[in-house]
Amino acid sequence: MTDTASSAPPGPGSSGPGLSHVRDDGSAHMVDVTGKTSTRRVARAQAILRTRPDVVAQIADGSLPKGEALGTARIAGIMAAKQTSNLIPLCHPLPIGSVTVDFETEGPGVEAGSVRILTAVSTRGVTGVEMEALTAASVAALTLYDMIKAVDKLAVIEGIQVLAKQGGKSGDWVRDGADTEGIA
C-alpha cells in the first residue's frame, strides 16, 4: 500500500493549527525551513543523575572502576549533539557552532548524591538547537550511568529539560526557576 499523502510536498497551511510537523491528515513530515532567516540560536538543557553521595565522590575524583567518567561523558554528549538529526526522525541536520557539557556535583540546585549535567549548543541557522542540547544532556547522563552501574545499579536519570533558548521567531525564554548560571 502506498501512502501518497506522506510523499507529497507540504503546501501552504499543510501543518494546520496544531503541530508544525503534522499535516492536516495526521501524517508526519519534516518541516520546510528553507524560507526562514538564518540567525544565531542557542539552547541550554539539563539532565540529573541521582545516585549515592559516595558514588558522586568517585565520579568527582575519577576513582570509579571504569575510570574517569566526567571526561568520557563530556565527549559522549558532544558527539551526541552532532548526531541528533540521525537519532530524531524529523530533526533537521544543523551546522553546530559549539557544544558545551558541564557537570555540577554540589552547589545551589544540586541535591546530595546527584550530578547535574548542563549543556549548551549554538548554531547560526534557520531552526533551533533545543533537540541537540537535550540529546547532549541525555547521552552524557546515560554515559555517566554506564560508568557507575557497577557500583550503583539503582541510579536514576531524571529532569531532562530545556532550560533556556535564544534566537528564532519565538524569541528568547528561560524556564521559570531555571538556574542557567555557569552554562556557556
Measured between alpha carbons, how far is residue 112 from residues 108, 125, 151, 156 in Å? 11, 39, 17, 14
- Are 104 and 22 in contact by the 8 Å Cβ rule? The answer is no
Q: Which amino acid is at 8?
A: A
Q: Which amino acid is at 93?
A: P
Catalytic pick among 146, 172, 176, 179 = 146
User: For 28, which DSSP code?
Assistant: B
Cell for 129?
Answer: 538547537
For the question of residue 102 being annotated catalytic, the response is no
Beta strand 173-174 with 114-125: parallel, antiparallel or unpaired? unpaired
- Are 16 and 28 in contact by the 8 Å Cβ rule? The answer is no
CA proximity to 162, closest of 121, 123, 126, 127: 121
Beta strand 96-104 with 114-125: parallel, antiparallel or unpaired? antiparallel
Task: Report, as residue numbers or ranges, the catalytic residues.
Answer: 146
